[in-house]
Chain A
Amino acid sequence: MALKTETMILNMGPQHPSTHGVLRLELELDGELIVNVKPHIGYLHRCFEKHAEAMSYPQVIPYTDRMDYLASMYNNFGYVIAVEKLLGIQVPERVEYIRVIMGELQRIASHLVAIGTNGLDIGAFTPFLYLFRDREKILSLFEMTCGARLLYNYMWVGGLSHDIHPDFVRLTKEFINYFRPTITELNNLLTFNKIFIERTANIGVLPLDTAINYGVTGPSLRGSGLAFDIRKEDTYSIYDRFDFEIPVGQGLVGTVGDSWDRYYVRILEMEQSLRIIEQAIDQIPDGDVKAAIPKRIKPPKGTVYTRVENPRGELGYFIISDGNLNPFRVKVRAPSFVNLEVFGELCKGHLVADVIAILGSIDIVLGEVDR
């Protein structure tokens, strides 16, 4: 006679050490086995899109900072490109170069957090702090340039808030030289650690077709083996001038598209970002950092959609202008939000401990999921 069993509902979050903020997961457990996962979001909802309707175009930029607070530069980047497209203005060369350098530095900083917290979720505390130490160095570069460490409001419509600091080029080069060996150290300490591999390889395998069906982008998609990167596919700014590769997951230690692949793609991407910075830093032309734009930004009637490759995936801004000082509508396609949708699919049949390993490898920022 079969024993009558029932599943247990375990509520993980919104206050939980490793749900990366205020995500609430409703886990249906059979013992420790996951039967079903229901993510509940909205605990950090701050009405970005509604706010934007009441703000003038430059005033929206500080709000974009606060969406994905680990990649504020890139949020600014996407938004200003959209508004500039709407206005039909060209920004100076120097601005483009600085924006790319800042964006790539931000990508490294964001990936450092992603990698570090992924390791932390699995229990490796020390690499997390090493990575935060390195991230601090990038933040110091940002602070030197624009005065803020987290919410930069650096890229403005038609230019930048500040020109780079005279020491910036030298210090960035120093950082690159410092950072390369630490990646190797990280690989030795965490990436190729047997326990880490055991915990992440073959866990949360995301097949390519599922990834595409769910609209997953960014390192999570590339981990599944598709070399899709908007910097190459739909080039914006001056990314077409640089030589870099798009790393994809190859299933080095497990199946293609597992948590380890998503993790490793980020490490490889950091190296590519370093390459881009190295190329760009020597070519920064002289000039002004502000394009000649009217003081009151009043784009003509129309709509625009731009997408950029945020550290987490495709960040899209859809702006409708009705010819006033305020945008009529700003819609954001947040990569974290879209990537989170596939999470339930990934967790099925795994253990409780794997849920956090998978969540860490998807790398969501709740500020962006809820906006």
Chain B
Amino acid sequence: MYQFLFNLSGSEIIATIFTAAVILVFILLFVLFAVWFERKVSAHMQDRLGPMRVGWHGVLQTIADFVKMLQKEDIIATEADRKLYTIAPVLVFTGSFAAYAAIPFSSKLLGSEVEVGIFYLLAVSSFVVAGILMAGWSSNNKYSLLGAMRSAAQIVSYEIPTALVVLSIVMLTGTLSLEKISQLQTAYFWNWNIFGGPEFSLAKFLLIPFMFVGFLIIYISTLAEVNRTPFDIPEAESELVAGYFTEYCGMKWAMFMLSEYANMFAVSAIVTILFFGGYQSPFGYLGNSIGAEWLVPFEQAFWFIAKGIFFVFVQMWLRWTLPRLRVDQLMTVCWKYLIPYAFLNLIIVGFISLL
């Protein structure tokens, strides 16, 4: 995409801005959809109807909410640290927006072909912690502070199991580039990493259970990284009212929500790329079979977004099923369960890949 625009315009700046704009538009559209989708999923799981009035089955509800949010007065508490308080939501959103730079939506639509894509993703997604801590501290509210402290501890801890699982995939594929990891799992769905990767050998079959464990671990830990139930203790509404964004309102609050939903898709994208073939279709491309090559990238984008939305749906499904853990139990799950399992998994995958 960047290359294409660069060739077209001949200017780096224009190409960069356009690429960023496309991704920003995607994020906004996705958030509009995801907020509505979450409300509908939760409603139907709870035998309710959910939003029904604005548009067909309330599809435009989020837009109506957004308009309402724009009209709201921007309140800043007197005792709040005004500078940090204003920067924090922007910083949080920047973190989650930056992550999209390296995500390959299809073989053509990707912000930047970073060679160390997965490393960049892990690094930049923890950027959010700084924003959350700022928000919690600057609000000058005890609930916000507690929420921020919890969040920092949580996100930092859960990066370890994520990294361990990522490491096992990197060991298997031999690359850090998200684009290359996606390309490797091409053709049919049995070539996906969850089914042991593209190479057909004994190791492939041995890998399947461990890949599955790896998938579970990374899914759980990324769930914790984006603060979703059962790991939503930083914003636990029944304990901390709203956690680190208790004092926020209007558009500033909307920025936090935007970044939360953007993060949901980002981590789903990571899971998709690492284990479920990234943008690869599970059964060949229509564009290839009818001879329309230009169709393939769009199909890829479709598959990528579909897979991403499926994992976002599972996140919502979990959210509306489970109670939330306590802060110490959250750490227990991470340090005593996920990390040992991930570590063991890493060693076993290493041995198998030696075969």
Interface residues of A (CB under 8 A from B): 8, 10, 16-18, 32, 119-126, 129-130, 133, 189-190, 193, 195-196, 198-199, 351-356
With A17-B241, A353-B233, A356-B239 already in contact, the answer to whether A125 and B325 are too (CB < 8 A) is: no
Residue of A195, A196, A356 near B238 (CB, 8 A) is A356
With A129-B47, A129-B48, A133-B47 already in contact, the answer to whether A198 and B325 are too (CB < 8 A) is: yes
Give the Cβ gap from B139 to chain A, nearest Cβ, in Å.
Answer: 14
Give the Cβ gap from A201 to chain B, nearest Cβ, in Å.
Answer: 11
Give the Cβ gap from A38 to chain B, nearest Cβ, in Å.
Answer: 16
Main secondary structure of the interface of B (DSSP, over half): loop
Please tell me if B214 contacts chain A, counting CB pairs below 8 Å.
no
Interface size on B, residues (CB 8 A): 28
Main secondary structure of the interface of A (DSSP, over half): helix
Give the Cβ gap from A161 to chain B, nearest Cβ, in Å.
Answer: 32
A-B contact count (CB 8 A): 76
B321 contact set on A, CB distance < 8 A: 124, 126, 189
14 more A-B residue pairs beyond the given contacts A122-B238, A195-B325, with a C-beta to C-beta distance below 8 A: A16-B241, A17-B237, A123-B229, A123-B230, A124-B321, A125-B46, A125-B320, A126-B320, A126-B321, A189-B321, A199-B325, A199-B326, A353-B327, A355-B239
Asked whether B237 lies within 8 Å of A195 as measured between CB atoms, the reply is no
B237 contact set on A, CB distance < 8 A: 17
B324 contact set on A, CB distance < 8 A: 122-123, 195, 199
B47 contact set on A, CB distance < 8 A: 129-130, 133
A17 contact set on B, CB distance < 8 A: 237-238, 241
Asked whether A193 lies within 8 Å of B322 as measured between CB atoms, the reply is yes
Please tell me if B179 contacts chain A, counting CB pairs below 8 Å.
no
Asked whether A123 lies within 8 Å of B327 as measured between CB atoms, the reply is no
Asked whether A195 lies within 8 Å of B230 as measured between CB atoms, the reply is yes
A352 to B326, CA, bound (A): 9
Please tell me if B232 contacts chain A, counting CB pairs below 8 Å.
yes
Please tell me if B323 contacts chain A, counting CB pairs below 8 Å.
yes
A25 to B26, CA, bound (A): 45
15 A-B pairs with CB atoms under 8 Å apart are: A10-B143, A122-B238, A125-B320, A126-B46, A129-B46, A129-B47, A130-B47, A133-B47, A199-B324, A199-B326, A199-B329, A351-B326, A352-B240, A353-B233, A354-B326
State the 6 A-B residue pairs at the shortest beta-carbon distance, nearest first. A123-B324, A124-B323, A18-B238, A129-B46, A122-B323, A123-B323
Asked whether A193 lies within 8 Å of B323 as measured between CB atoms, the reply is yes
A32 to B239, CA, bound (A): 12
Asked whether A126 lies within 8 Å of B45 as measured between CB atoms, the reply is yes
